[in-house]
Amino acid sequence: MPRAELTKLQNERLRAVVKRVYENVPFYKKKFDEMGLKPEDICSIEDLTKLPFTNKQDLRDNYPFDLFAVPMDEVVRIHASSGTTGKQTVVGYTKHDLDIWGEVMARTLGAGGVTKKDIGHISYGYGLFTGGMGGNLGSETVGCATIPASTGNTRRQVTILQDFKPTFILATPSYALTIAEYLAENNIDPASLSLKAGFFGAEPWTEEMRREIENRFQIKAYDIYGLSEAIGPGVAYECECQHGLHVNEDHFLIEIIDPDTGEQLPDGTEGEIVFTCMTKEALPLIRYRTHDVGVRLPGECECGRTFVRMQKPAGRTDDMLIIRGVNVFPSQIESVLMDIEGIAPFFQMVVERDGNLDKLTVLVEMTEDAFTDEIRILEDMTRKVTEAIHSVLGIAVRVKLVEPRSIERFEGKAKRVIDKRTQVNF
């Protein structure tokens, strides 16, 4: 689509969504009114900066459904991701939203050469997490035979790869490498599989990991980007040039802002990624602050697509960690520990990559109050903390009691996170 035409479409869609949220979401009406802003004040994407930001906290404050812009009987799907205090970030979709999701995911797959003749193997987790269902939807929208393999049980995954002969796979990069390792251990030649392409995302990975996946599977590995608050996977995708991710700009407006001042930054400058969902009906977020650090790449892509490209996000503006595709905040661990008697407020999260799997260890400082000569009681305590953290985060964790004052302090506060994964990219 030529740029001028795209801009015209964006202007129309932005005007429409601003009107919709003002009329249907009390949160936005209140915010606009407080700012003295009327929907008519927004004529084009040039006026975007007049609009207020939406933060993750706003989703929490309006938990679970108060930011929805349609009545619940219009909603056909709910997804959720973990929040900071055990409260999840809930997102909803109308039938039309699912069509959009299918479309943007289909574009993602199409850009990697997938056609309806292909067979898709979806190894993202199915459930409240958007990865599995989103990948599934995209694959079916293209018209591919789609295998909802979900994640885990690597041996069965490999049997499916061998017998069903899928031609492309969707997985977290680390799980893809787990599968690759299984192939190597069992002397299965990746060339004997039918895979041609893979679409990987939902956790930090580097160019080195991409090369490794490409070598080990002998496929082309594409990066995909998304977040449930926008729609899930499919917000931005890589084309054959593999030089930045094209943002589906007919649905999502991308801005890069200075995280401190909130000011919009020019293309080529690093800042916080902000999205506005123009076409979604159930949860059309306005200027949603992702806390992902990114860059809008200037210039056009050699592939000929006019959609602007963003660089693979290079970190976070907040303390969120992505562990095995799950969003984890140190404050979640803190609130769990606070609820357990006799546990010190000093803890440290150590994130490592064991083989290809992220591993989280939480070190908890022992206190004299909690200490007892009975091993059984200490082990019970460790187990209690382990289970409580597991139930809040949804991922397995190892809890280790450590000596008091053994955790490194920084200006009196314990250093909360040690991320030993070499991958810093999202």
Partner 1 sequence: MLLKQISVFVENRHGAIRDIAGVLANAGINIRAMSIADTADFGIVRLIVDKRKEALSALRENGMTVKETDVLALSVPDRPGAMYEALTALAASEVMIEYSYGFVSPINGEATCILRCDDQEKALGCLTSKGFKLLTAEEIK
Shortest gap between Cβ of 356 and partner 1 (angstroms)? 24
Applying CB under 8 A, does 367 fall inside the site for partner 1? Answer: yes
Strand residue runs (E) in 295-378: 296-297, 309-310, 321-323, 326-328, 347-354, 357-365
Applying CB under 8 A, does 384 fall inside the site for partner 1? Answer: no
Query: How many C-beta atoms surround the C-beta of residue 26 within 10 A?
Result: 12
Applying CB under 8 A, does 379 fall inside the site for partner 1? Answer: yes
Burial of 261 (0-12, 13-18, 19+ CB in 10 A): exposed
Applying CB under 8 A, which of residues 331, 382, 386, 425 lies at the interface with partner 1?
Answer: 382
Is residue 224 a contact partner of residue 168, using CB atoms and an 8 Å limit? no
DSSP codes of every residue in 96-141: HHHHHHHHHHHHHHHHTT--TTSEEEE-SPPSSSHHHHHHHHHHHH
**Would you state the structure tokens that stand for residue 303, as one six-digit string?**
């592939």
Applying CB under 8 A, does 354 fall inside the site for partner 1? Answer: no
Shortest gap between Cβ of 400 and partner 1 (angstroms)? 5
Applying CB under 8 A, does 366 fall inside the site for partner 1? Answer: yes
Shortest gap between Cβ of 100 and partner 1 (angstroms)? 49
Instruction: Give the binding-site size for partner 1 (rule: CB under 8 A).
Output: 18
Q: Are strands 197-200 and 220-227 parallel, antiparallel or unpaired?
A: parallel
Under 8 Å CB-to-CB from 395, ≥6 apart: which residues?
A: 323, 324, 326, 328, 360
Applying CB under 8 A, does 345 fall inside the site for partner 1? Answer: no
Applying CB under 8 A, does 375 fall inside the site for partner 1? Answer: yes
Residue 22 DSSP one-character state: H
**Would you state the structure tokens that stand for residue 166, as one six-digit string?**
């899928």
Applying CB under 8 A, does 340 fall inside the site for partner 1? Answer: no
For partner 1, the closer of residues 158 and 378 by Cβ is 378
Shortest gap between Cβ of 351 and partner 1 (angstroms)? 18
Shortest gap between Cβ of 366 and partner 1 (angstroms)? 5
* Angle separating helix axes 330-338 and 375-393, nearest 10 degrees: 130
Applying CB under 8 A, which of residues 373, 408, 411, 413 lies at the interface with partner 1?
Answer: 373
For partner 1, the closer of residues 30 and 383 by Cβ is 383
Under 8 Å CB-to-CB from 129, ≥6 apart: which residues?
A: 79, 81, 325, 326
Say how far apart CA 175 and CA 152 lie, in whole Å: 8
For partner 1, the closer of residues 184 and 396 by Cβ is 396
Applying CB under 8 A, does 371 fall inside the site for partner 1? Answer: yes
Residue 221: name the closest of 259, 261, 190, 249 by CA. Answer: 190
- Choose one: 55-63, 136-144, 233-241, 368-376; the region binding partner 1 (CB under 8 A): 368-376
Applying CB under 8 A, which of residues 403, 410, 411, 413 lies at the interface with partner 1?
Answer: 403
Applying CB under 8 A, which of residues 405, 409, 415, 420 lies at the interface with partner 1?
Answer: 405
Applying CB under 8 A, which of residues 374, 408, 411, 412 lies at the interface with partner 1?
Answer: 374
- Interaction site with partner 1 (CB under 8 A): 366-368, 371-375, 378-379, 382, 400-406
